[in-house]
Amino acid sequence: MNNLESSNLLRPTLASFSFSLIQKLVKVLTNTASIGAYFEPIIQLFSPYWKISKISAEITNVRHESTNIYTLILKPSSKWQTFKAGQFVQLSAEIKGSLITRTFSISSEPEYFKTSGKIELTIRSQDNGLLTPWLRTSVQAGHTVYLSQASGNFTLKNQQKKKLFIAAGSGITAIRPILKQYKNEAWLKDAQLLFYVKNRTECLFLEDMNALKSCGLNYKYIYSEESGRICQQHLDDFCDDLSNREVYLCGPPKMIETTNILLKDNLVPESNIFFEYFGPPPIQPTNFSLGDDENFIQVDYLSSKKQVSFKADSPPITLLDMAENEGLKPVSGCRTGVCHQCICKKKQGRVFNIKTKQYSDSGSEEIQLCLSVPISHVELEL
């Protein structure tokens, strides 16, 4: 018994030891992080879209849902595993040579992927966005983009309890796959969906909802231009047993916040509320102001598991100074943006560059800490 245990223990150590030895040798011989990183540019000479660390996906079709909402139909390469209904992926595309990454919920159901090998992403084109308008106007069938594996916890928790889904705008993208995947299950007969859209022209997925109605789904579109945003009245009119239901919320941060408060007032236990945030649209560079729901700006240092928050109207301070005030020691150099030593990966959030006077995207990218002032919730790999 003892022998068996020790040999089992030994095997992984030996394997990981030889693996780290190979990694070291690769670093010594190639000065790159991995053998793949060394060969990537050689393979790209023949196949320009190939990337070692990314899963490529071919856009097979673009379906326009309304004036500024469209659906990309993608065929991921075989490296892409499957997903659970309600999860999201990171989509990256090269725009003018620069790799831009954004997160989108998968709006189709796993069953569809199983039969066709394809997934759908339904996207609203943001007026000041970088990636979303580009995908709408510049991408044609056959174009290659990149995907991450799917992740996210916004999935169906159990099949017993009655359910209420509340979606706003493109928030429906995370809920549609859940409804479609389980359309033949018993719980759907008691399920309700409250869906906020701007007006009649933006009735996303109306056909799907009609089809689901025949399976028992009770749904209602609310036009926020006519009836306003979510309120007690809307809930009372639509649902009379709120406190007995599991509630799934998906939409912009502001909507999640208000709905959460409403639900608590209606005695829905917190353990029955599940939600997914959809980030705020990009800030306009011309008349920059902090969004009204951002009185506090928070910076998360992911690697050192620290965070700071401060009042949005306090004097601006660079991320480098801020990190050092927190006792962190990021590598830095000239502190004037010349030496590129303090470059750090920003996972998300927007920063203002004090040298170029430009606002960054909200997605993941490399930034110079000594030049960057946070203007929204920022996550740093530091």
DSSP state of 148: P
Note the helical H segments in 32-191: 35-46, 110-116, 131-138, 172-181
Residues binding another protein: number (CB under 8 A): 37
In the complex, the smallest distance separating the C-beta of residue 90 from another protein, rounded to whole angstroms, is 13
- Does residue number 317 form part of the binding site for another protein (CB under 8 A)? no
Provide the CB-side half-sphere exposure for 89 (13 A, CA). 30
28 binds another protein (CB under 8 A): yes
Out of 26, 99, 312, 328, the only residue in the binding site for another protein (CB under 8 A) is 99
Q: Does 35 interact with another protein (rule: CB under 8 A)?
A: no
Task: Out of 27, 64, 161, 213, point to the residue binding another protein (CB under 8 A).
Answer: 27
Q: Is 358 near another protein (CB under 8 A)?
A: no
Q: Whole-angstrom Cα distance, residue 33 to residue 221?
A: 51
- Nearer to another protein by C-beta: 95 or 231? 95
Asked whether position 334 contacts another protein by CB under 8 A, the answer is yes
Q: Does 140 bind another protein (CB under 8 A)?
A: no
Per CB under 8 A, 142 contacts another protein: no
Instruction: Give CA separation, 257 vs 105, 181, 229, 277, 375, in Å.
Output: 20, 28, 12, 10, 20
Stretch of residues binding another protein (CB under 8 A), selected from 99-107, 121-129, 165-173, 371-379? 99-107
Residue 215 Cα distances to 186, 187, 245, angstroms = 9, 10, 19
Residue of 64, 189, 264, 340 interacting with another protein (CB under 8 A): 340
Distance of closest approach, residue 17 Cβ to another protein, in angstroms: 19
Decide: is 366 part of the binding site for another protein (CB under 8 A). Answer: yes
Pick the binder of another protein from 29, 231, 302, 317 (CB under 8 A): 29
What are the C-alpha distances in Å from 295 to residues 53, 289, 298, 317, 342?
38, 11, 10, 16, 28
Which of 26, 35, 37, 354 contacts another protein by CB under 8 A? 37
Q: Least separation, in Å, of the C-beta of 25 and another protein?
A: 8
**8 Å CB contact between 316 and 373:** yes
Looking at 59, 73, 89, 100, which residue binds another protein (CB under 8 A)?
100
Q: What is the nearest approach in angstroms of another protein to the Cβ of residue 56?
A: 15
* 32 near another protein, rule: CB under 8 A: yes
Nearer to another protein, 9 or 29 (CB): 29
Alpha helix positions (H), the chain: 2-30, 35-46, 110-116, 131-138, 172-181, 206-213, 224-227, 232-238, 253-265, 319-325
Which H or E run contains 147? strand 144-147
Count of CB atoms situated within 10 Å of the CB of 344: 20
Residue 101 touching another protein (CB under 8 A)? yes
**Phi-psi label, residue 216: left if phi above 0, alpha if psi -120 to 50, beta otherwise:** left
User: Which residues contribute to the site for another protein (CB under 8 A)?
Assistant: 27-29, 31-33, 37-42, 44-45, 48, 53, 94, 96-101, 331-334, 336, 338-341, 343-344, 364-366
